[in-house]
Chains A and B, each alone.
Chain A
Amino acid sequence: MRYSGFRVIAEALTGHKGWKPVWRDPTPQADYDYIIIGGGGHGLATAYYLAKEFGQARIAVLEKGYLGGGNVGRNTTIIRSNYLLDGNEPFYEFSLKLWEGLEQDFNYNAMVSQRGIINLIHTDAQRDAATRRGNAMIMHGADARLLSREDVRQMYPWLNFDNARFPIKGALMQPRGGTVRHDAVAWGYARGADQRGVDLIQNCEVTGMRIENGRIKGVETTRGFIGAKKVGVAVAGSSSKVMAHAGMRLPIESHVLQAFVSEGLKPLINGVMTFGAGHFYVSQSDKGGLVFGGDIDGYNSYAQRGNLPVIEDVAEGGMALMPAIGRVRLLRSWGGIMDMSMDGSPIIDKTHVEGLYFNGGWCYGGFKATPASGWAFAHLLAKDEPHKTATAYRFNRFLKGRMIDEKGQGAQPNLH
């Protein structure tokens, strides 16, 4: 069924009796050409592009819970391509271009809203760094604008411009950045993959991998053994757990990142705003809630919930920037588990096991990468060579000294 405005009107006039389940609930077959482990944004996008762009068939996605039940439903929905380094920027710009055509491509309303993102500047040194980053973005075909203090004041006159520690001196803006309805991304990719014959198998946890003579033969699951010629793992947050089935230790630690939403307010913030110096970023949802977050809690965790000190820290950052929100009540907070890699950048690569491929290490930047990650991983799975925008995302970059460390923090995952 193709969705359209006419379809909505026709269904409204006929009692909404024509809507069908959006995807099948198939029983797993004995074997497939491709198994994607992980039915989140990246796994579903991978299956979708494998079928649609690379013409592959006999594909299954295995999900231990329900589709889109992990980080794709737990993030703060921001899209942007404001990176500095050569290894990253072409990839994220490719992703942003895919976001721009995504809804037409998979015929699903993902509410892609390019309202702009600004990164606040407080010092001359930060302005220099922002100028350099903006130039790097423009050189890779992205858009960037340097805003003055007065430009920012016109957008958000109620910010605290004269904070004693971090006065606002300007901002780096990417007008094409924005937000997307995150659940709809998972549902849109799932529906598109299902329509192209991909089996989406839920409540199917991978409990082991069958590897013979250095080659993957399939996976053991809670629903029995399923054979496969190629297996792609896209389970960021749980990567170390799943890859341990293949005897691998990864350059990754799992950390919890919290996010927050306030009660609904009248329109206050048009786009996305980051206050890096105060460890705080915010946007406003269509329902009016302020959606915001800050740093990871900072210690290894698989708990999907954080602790109160970070909540206090984020709230302090928010108050320092926007004293006007002092009486706003917090509605909900939650946590997601991040694959924090050793240089803050992801990995999309083959492994030492023939036919086993890995996609992970997304730190807290995985959502914006979803389309390009799926595309690049599908490219790797189908053609056995990395996509041109993802050539730097290799396991061996740590051994070779080719880290992609945007912040220059070194091998300290909780600081990225």
Chain B
Amino acid sequence: MIIHHPILGPRDAQEFVYLGDASLIDRPDGMTAGVEAFHDYLYNRTNPAGEHQELWYHEQGDRSWLVVTRNTVTHEITKVELARDVARARGRTK
């Protein structure tokens, strides 16, 4: 698989480390969220067959975190964004 890095261009997926579903960006507030919400965040996954937004870390490159939109049935990658931009768009401040 080739991941089209927003800054570095096409890079082999071998250079990346995979973390999982990009919903991991949306961590509940540790001061207010209950145990159930954290359990759901940490352990449960939608795990779709089809389009999936996921976190890849460019460990062998510029060490940026990316949000890759990829089809889990065909492995086709349709969108690659910097995770930083995605997190800010979702209202995260850091």
Give the B-binding residues of A (Cβ under 8 A). 238, 240-241, 249-254, 298-303, 307, 309, 342, 398-399, 411-414
Contacts and interface: CB of A to CB of B under 8 A. Distances in A.
Contacts of A307: 1, 13, 75
B39 A399 contact: yes
Contact of A302 (B35, B44, B46, B73): B73
Contact of A301 (B35, B42, B72): B72
Interface string B13-35: 11000101100000000000001
Contacts of B1: 307
Contact of A303 (B14, B18, B74): B74
B13 A254 contact: no
A251 B43 CA distance: 5
Nearest to B20: A253
14 contacts: A240-B48, A250-B45, A251-B43, A253-B21, A253-B47, A254-B47, A298-B18, A299-B70, A303-B75, A307-B13, A309-B13, A398-B43, A411-B42, A414-B18
* Interface residue SS majority, chain B: mixed
Nearest to B36: A399
A249 B45 contact: yes
Given A254-B72, A303-B74, A249 B14 contact: no
A303 B72 contact: yes
Contacts of A398: 39, 42-43
A254 B14 contact: no
B65 to A, nearest CB: 15
Contacts of A298: 18
A280 to B, nearest CB: 18
* Interface residue SS majority, chain A: mixed
Nearest to B73: A302
A32 B44 CA distance: 31
B49 A252 contact: no
B40 interface: yes
Nearest to B45: A253
Nearest to B38: A399
B74 A250 contact: no
A46 B45 CA distance: 27
Interface string B53-94: 010000000000000001011110000000000000000000
B2 to A, nearest CB: 11
B43 A300 contact: no
Contacts of A249: 40, 44-47
A240 B48 CA distance: 7
A399 B72 CA distance: 28
B47 to A, nearest CB: 4
Contacts of B54: 299-300
B45 A251 contact: yes
Contacts of B48: 240
Contacts of A399: 35-36, 39
Nearest to B46: A249
A301 B39 CA distance: 24
B48 to A, nearest CB: 8
A254 B45 CA distance: 10
Contact of B43 (A240, A301, A302, A411): A411
Contacts of A251: 43-45
Nearest to A342: B43
Contacts of A302: 49, 72-73
Contacts of A300: 20-21, 47, 52, 54, 72
A299 B68 CA distance: 11
Nearest to A299: B18
B77 to A, nearest CB: 11
Contacts of A301: 72, 75
B56 to A, nearest CB: 8
Contact of A240 (B13, B45, B73, B74): B45
Given A299-B54, A307-B1, A411-B42, A250 B47 contact: yes
Contacts of B13: 299, 307, 309
Contacts of A253: 20-21, 45, 47
A198 to B, nearest CB: 28
A240 B75 contact: no
Contacts of B46: 240, 249
